[in-house]
Structure 1
Amino acid sequence: MESNKINYVELPARDLALNKAFFTQAFGWGFKDYGPEYAAFDNAGLDGGFFQANFCSRPQNGAALVILFSDDLETSLDKVKVAGGTIEQDIFEFPGGRRFHFLDPCGNEWAVWGDLKS
């Protein structure tokens, strides 16, 4: 591990089982449970986990926005929908690429970006 670098991120989940199923189906993540109120995720690009909580993470409430990368935005958007996510903002261009925002089944807001070629 590198000192002074982001190493881990934790996010709330109202329903751990629901969020684990969603991220497994939509993005192929794996999980390891640490008791009934915590699940660490793997194969996500950054180590982290979900903790049981009755609130959600939204940028408009001051939370950081976690952004995933995709080499095929349209396919990622479809997978999010099929897995039960809610599209908060459809694909749009921004300086540097394109992205969309979605809510996971627990109400946390995420984004997925890709370059202009995707």
Structure 2
Amino acid sequence: MNKHEAINYLELPAKDISATKAFFTTVFKWTFVDYGPEYSAFSDPCIEGGFYQSDLMSTTSQGAALVVFYSEKLEQTQAKVEQAGGAIIRPIFTFPGGRRFHFIEPSGNEFAVWSDKE
């Protein structure tokens, strides 16, 4: 999967690594490998990365990049996010090319999910 000069790995802060791991395992089926108490690596079929222990959060209001997931069933994914303890901060809205919503996961990081399906 290593491709020359492509994004290869993503690292994000996490106040509560255990809660963040549980959230992403439940909603997106990520798997994790712990490297000590302050770092946990994740993988899914599309990307790999890790969460590091930090009191900081990644939100667009603070100028952070936005990580965006794709879903063929946007409402179903939003329900899964809410059931797993995520907070919806921008309900589903339309934009050129589709629809999306933004959420905060248990450690306070902002993510979005978009779809080109109605």
| TM superposition score normalised by structure 2 | 0.95
Distance in 2 (CA, whole Å) between partners of 1:76 and 1:33 is 26
1:1-118 equivalences in 2 (<5 Å): 1-43=2-44, 45-115=46-116, 117-118=117-118
Aligned length: 117
Distance in 1 (CA, whole Å) between partners of 2:57 and 2:65 is 11
- Could you tell which deviates more after superposition, 94-103 or 23-32? 23-32
SS at the partner of 1:24?
Answer: helix
- List per-residue Cα deviations over 1:38-81 (Å, max 9, x = no partner): 01111162111100001100011111000000110000000000
Identity %: 54
Shift of residue 2, structure 1, vs aligned partner:
1.7
Distance in 2 (CA, whole Å) between partners of 1:114 and 1:39 is 29
SS at the partner of 1:56?
Answer: coil
Instruction: Point out where structure 1 has 5 or more consecutive residues left out of the alignment.
Output: none
Distance in 2 (CA, whole Å) between partners of 1:56 and 1:4 is 27
Instruction: Point out where structure 2 has 5 or more consecutive residues left out of the alignment.
Output: none
- Counterpart residue type for residue 95 of structure 1: P
SS at the partner of 1:78?
Answer: helix
